[in-house]
Amino acid sequence: MAEVRLENITVSYDGKNNVLEGLNLKVNEGELLALLGPSGCGKTTTLRVIAGFIDPKDGHMYCDDRDFTRIPVHKRNFGLVFQSYALFPHLNVYENVAFGLKLRKMDKVTIEKKVTEILKVCDLTEFKDRLPKNLSGGQRQRVALARALVIEPELLLLDEPLSNLDAKLRLNMRVEIKRIQKKLGITTVFVTHDQEECFSISDKVAVMNGGVIEQFGTPEEIYTRPKTEFVARFIGFENFIKLHKVDGVLECADGTKISVDDSGDKDECLLTIRPDDIKIVADDYKGENVLCGEVVVRTYLGKSYQYETMTPFGKVVVNDASGTLYNTGDKIRMVLDKAKIVLV
């Protein structure tokens, strides 16, 4: 098990534009770190730098304080699971899993013992003679995982491993990966663009955008306290309202005063809040942080209704589970939960 550090990693494919820009990242021993971001943000590139497929133009990668930057892929002993799984089609499940062990020149008995063991952990024992093409998506996924784990890697790298599975299987595999990872205590880096997947599985999250890490923290920190507009938008904040400071108090464009716990030190900022953290209140409601809007669209979400409303400073979306129905054109009053307001 290992601790991994990236220091000042810069990567460029064409020599001009940098895909990664002075990236710093640390994964503690036994931790599962998720790299989260939209496609093209550099998360897969980061993973490929760690794996050793890409030589960074600048910077270093350390594994337990040993400099790994120039160590070739096949000497790193990192387990890797590809999005495509990359199972060898000419080898059956057993041979796929045994591939790495055979390269390590282990004797037959040891190989058999280790493969049998990991197949059991991954629930694959009964499929060991099958070829990859005769396996379901979930089974292939587990073979890929078993093949990466059996070499007892210092580090496990997962590149969007769940994105080719259907929704239900994805939930199961998510739990499965977490279980195996904790059981073996293996340091893991997990690349995903799915925020829900990322929060449910990881110990730490790095949200990436344009080749840099926008925010690094625990899933809870990121979910409740996004630091930038990009992070907020990416993890599901929908309402963004421009605020400016008048005599130390934050106001909307139309003068509505907004009270928050910490108003920050910027003169202008963006207020953001999730639709779930806004409540629709009666017309006679007296209190802070009340906005008025007119219902434009009503959408039924199952457990609640979502209203898209138009306010003097733009669109505000609110989820309402109270059961009172409002129609298009209705004027409603909404209160923002002071504790849930985030300024970016």
Partner 1 sequence: MSLGRYLSFFSDTYYLNIFVRTIRVSLICTLVCMILGIPTAYFISRTSKKVRGVLMAIAIFPMLTNSVIRAFAWINVLGKNGIINQILGIFNIEPVSMLYTEFSVLIGTIYLFLPLMIITLVGVMENIDNDMMEAAESLGANRIVAFFKVILPMSVPGIITGSVLVFTGALTAYTTPQLLGGPSNMLMSTLIYQRAMTLNDWTSASVIALIMIVTTLIVMKGLNYVASKLDKRGLE
Q: Does 293 bind partner 1 (CB under 8 A)?
A: no
Nearer to partner 1 among residue 82 and residue 223 (C-beta): 82
Q: Does 76 bind partner 1 (CB under 8 A)?
A: yes
Closest CA to 135 of 81, 83, 87: 87
Shortest spacing between CB 83 and partner 1, in angstroms: 8
In the chain, DSSP assigns E strands to: 4-12, 18-27, 32-36, 58-63, 66-67, 78-81, 155-159, 187-192, 204-209, 212-217, 239-246, 249-251, 257-258, 268-273, 278-281, 290-300, 305-311, 314-320, 331-336, 342-343
**Among residues 12, 77, 116, 200, the one that binds partner 1 under rule CB under 8 A:** 77
Shortest spacing between CB 17 and partner 1, in angstroms: 17
Q: Does 82 bind partner 1 (CB under 8 A)?
A: yes
Residue 263: CB atoms within 10 A of its CB come to: 15
Q: Does 151 bind partner 1 (CB under 8 A)?
A: yes
Shortest spacing between CB 276 and partner 1, in angstroms: 40
Closest CA to 50 of 206, 157, 150: 157
Q: Does 106 bind partner 1 (CB under 8 A)?
A: no
Shortest spacing between CB 97 and partner 1, in angstroms: 10
Q: Does 92 bind partner 1 (CB under 8 A)?
A: yes
Contact 122, 146 (CB under 8 A): yes
Q: Which stretch binds partner 1 (CB under 8 A): 55-63, 96-104, 317-325, 327-335?
A: 96-104
Which positions lie near partner 1, rule CB under 8 A? Answer: 51, 53, 72-80, 82, 84, 86-92, 99-100, 103-104, 131, 133, 147-148, 151, 157
